[in-house]
């Protein structure tokens, strides 16, 4: 059975159009999510030793929570550990650019802040970093969304977003939930 | 048609497809690794080279935001860090263990089972847990008028040896007739926790081979008075050597009744 070269070409062209169209729709959806909703893959590659996380520097117990540095940058640091977040509540201002930094000393955890674009895995050995702006005020639920062990379903924390005027860090630039 | 003709026919397709894919790749690389980072970095006051390194993943941070700095002074809750090498020695019995243990029998009992219920049993406790507690007494992370001076006289290798020694001893045997029937809500706390209070089940960490933090001590067959005292100490933060407030955050949510009943449960129930 002889099929003409022309017929084959036309068929190939039709399928090319279908495939190109499908890929275009997917790419547009990704671009839309990325540009309009600010949902992007994490871009921070930063390593930290999970075995000594509690001993040195940034992720020691005393240093966790929200703090403002000299340049006015607002950073909240949190540790995800079996089966709780430390601290269990972080205080942040609305409508300001904030940076969230997470680390895990044990297994893989994950977080999302409900109703926002914050969603990341927390992998031992790496610092997970998210920049965002919270527009809604109130207590936002932040559950662990990566199965981390038997206590996983009780593992959640609160992100307390307050109006900018009510966000008053203390003299050392720290802001804690219960200090209000 | 001859195969050579087919090849000729395909060539323009191949050429164009390769050009388009190559072009898209080049465009993405230039946009993603050079143009966008440099432009974003410009707005955030980041020099072009750093911005490109960040975008490629060579340097931590995002090209559009200043990287937060931390001038943290370390105030660790404990000095213990688990290394494979340390964990390996905590599974190897030595002759030194029994010798060091002679200094402990007065309070912790001949075979690690204390006669005074205020003192903890050490028999059958995990070597990792005993090691961490002794190390913490020694460094001051956990303070106790009796144990601190004792731990300070022990060398690192003695601590390891005595930990392995007591871990190998048989646990206190329980009398089935004294096992207390505990309220349902206490059993629920032990087995299921309380999601509304973000309270994980005690057994998600303390249960047999539960897979929680490795330094988690065994609670069953422990003395009730000792257990209750520790829970209160965690609750008022007079004991604060638990890494990342694992036990302080749990006990802060417990009521007095729950503490007493949980201690009773673990001290008398045969199951765990
Ligand atoms: Cu988790």
Q: How far is C-alpha B155 from the geometric centre of its chain's CA atoms?
A: 25
Query: What are the beta bridge partners of residue A119?
Result: A112
Chain A residues within an 8 Å CB radius of B54: 43
Is the pLDDT at A180 greater than 60? The verdict is no
Please count the residues of chain A. 180
Answer yes or no: do B83 and A51 touch at CB < 8 A. yes
Alpha-carbon span B226 to B233, nearest angstrom? 10
pLDDT bracket for residue A95 (50, 70, 90): very high
The sign one gets for the Cα dihedral B44, B46, B49, B52 is: negative
**In this structure, are residues A161 and A138 in contact, taking their beta carbons and an 8 Å threshold?**
yes
Min Cα–Cα distance to chain B from A110, Å? 16
* Conformational region of residue A165, where left means phi above 0, alpha means psi within -120 to 50, and beta covers everything else: alpha
* ipTM score above 0.90: no
List, for residues A10-69, the tens digit of each pLDDT value.
998 999 999 999 999 999 999 998 888 888 777 788 888 988 888 877 888 888 889 888
Mutate to test the interface with A, among B202, B244, B252 (most CBs of A within 10 A): B244
Question: Reduced to 3 states, what is the DSSP secondary structure of residue B212?
Answer: coil
Alpha-carbon span B115 to B65, nearest angstrom? 61
Q: Give which of A122, A119, A111, A109 is closest to A148, Cα–Cα.
A: A109
Which CATH entry fits the domain spanning A61-175: 2.130.10.10, 3.40.605.10, 2.60.40.420, 3.40.50.300? 2.60.40.420
Kind of pairing between the strands at A138-143 and A89-93: unpaired
Nearest to A156 among B198, B204, B211 (CB): B198
pLDDT bracket for residue A99 (50, 70, 90): very high
Which residue bears the tokens 């001859």?
Answer: B2
Burial A69-103 (b: 16+ CB within 10 A, else e): eeeebbbbbbbbbbbbbbbbbbbbbbeeebbbbbb
Answer yes or no: do A61 and B244 touch at CB < 8 A. yes
Nearest to A84 among B72, B200, B207 (CB): B200
Domain ranges of chain A: 1-40, 61-175
- pLDDT of chain B along its 272 residues, tens only? 566 777 887 888 899 999 999 999 999 999 989 998 898 888 888 888 988 988 888 888 887 777 887 776 767 788 888 888 888 988 888 888 888 888 898 899 888 888 888 889 888 888 999 999 999 999 888 999 999 999 999 998 899 999 999 888 777 777 767 766 678 888 899 888 888 888 999 989 998 777 888 889 988 888 889 999 999 999 998 998 898 888 999 999 999 999 999 998 888 876 66
Which domains are assigned to chain B? 21-66 (no CATH), 80-172 (1.10.760.10), 173-272 (1.10.760.10)
A44 touches chain B (CB under 8 A): yes
Please count the residues of chain B. 272
Min Cα–Cα distance to chain B from A163, Å? 22
Q: Which helix (H) or strand (E) element contains residue B257?
A: helix B256-268
Q: How far is C-alpha B100 from the geometric centre of its chain's CA atoms?
A: 28
Which residue bears the tokens 């674009």?
Answer: A117
Distance from the first to the final alpha carbon of chain B: 79
Alpha-carbon span B192 to B190, nearest angstrom? 6
Chain A residues within an 8 Å CB radius of B210: 149-150
pLDDT bracket for residue A8 (50, 70, 90): confident
Mutate to test the interface with B, among A27, A40, A74, A151 (most CBs of B within 10 A): A151
The set of residues, in sequence order, having a beta carbon less than 8 Å from that of A132 and lying 6+ positions away, is A38, A97, A98, A100, A116, A117, A118
List, for residues A125-179, the tens digit of each pLDDT value.
999 999 899 999 999 999 999 999 888 988 999 999 999 888 888 878 888 887 5
């Amino acid at each position: 059975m002889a099929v003409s070269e022309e017929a084959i070409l036309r068929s190939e062209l039709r399928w090319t159009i279908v495939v190109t169209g499908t890929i275009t729709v997917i790419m547009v959806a990704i671009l839309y999510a990325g540009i309009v909703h600010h949902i992007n893959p994490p871009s921070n590659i930063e390593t930290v030793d999970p075995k000594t996380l509690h001993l040195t520097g940034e992720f020691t117990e005393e240093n966790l929570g929200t703090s403002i540095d000299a340049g006015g940058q607002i950073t909240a640091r949190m540790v995800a550990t079996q089966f709780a977040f430390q601290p269990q509540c972080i205080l942040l201002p609305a409508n300001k650019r904030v940076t969230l930094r997470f680390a895990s000393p044990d297994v893989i955890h994950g977080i999302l802040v409900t109703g926002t674009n914050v969603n990341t895995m927390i992998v031992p050995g790496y610092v997970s970093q998210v920049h965002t702006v919270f527009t809604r005020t109130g207590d936002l639920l932040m559950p662990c969304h990566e199965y981390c062990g038997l206590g996983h379903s009780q593992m959640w924390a609160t992100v307390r977003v307050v109006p900018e005027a009510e966000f008053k860090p203390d003299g050392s630039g720290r802001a804690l939930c219960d200090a209000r | 048609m001859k195969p050579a003709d087919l090849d000729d026919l395909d060539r323009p397709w191949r050429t164009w497809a390769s050009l388009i894919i190559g072009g898209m790749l080049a465009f993405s690389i230039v946009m993603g690794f050079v143009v966008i980072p440099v432009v974003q970095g410009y707005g955030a006051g980041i020099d072009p080279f750093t911005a490109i390194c960040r975008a490629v993943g060579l340097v931590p941070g995002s090209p559009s935001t200043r990287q937060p700095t931390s001038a943290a002074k370390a105030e660790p809750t404990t000095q213990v860090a688990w290394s494979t090498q340390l964990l390996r020695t905590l599974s190897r019995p030595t002759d030194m263990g029994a010798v060091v243990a002679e200094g402990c029998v007065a309070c912790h009992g001949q075979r690690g089972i204390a006669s005074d219920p205020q003192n903890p049993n050490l028999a059958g406790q995990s070597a990792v847990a005993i090691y961490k507690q002794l190390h913490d007494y020694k460094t001051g992370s956990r303070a106790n008028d009796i144990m601190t001076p004792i731990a300070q006289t022990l060398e690192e290798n003695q601590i390891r040896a005595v930990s392995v020694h007591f871990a190998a001893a048989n646990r206190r045997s329980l009398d089935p007739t004294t096992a207390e029937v505990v309220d349902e809500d206490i059993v629920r706390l032990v087995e299921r926790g309380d999601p509304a209070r973000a309270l994980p089940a005690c057994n998600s960490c303390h249960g047999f081979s539960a897979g929680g933090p490795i330094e988690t001590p065994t609670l069953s067959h422990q003395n009730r008075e000792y257990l209750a005292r520790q829970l209160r100490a965690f609750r008022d933060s007079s004991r604060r050597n638990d890494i990342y407030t694992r036990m302080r955050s749990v006990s802060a949510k417990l009521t007095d009744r729950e503490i007493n009943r949980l201690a009773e449960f673990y001290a008398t129930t045969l199951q765990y």
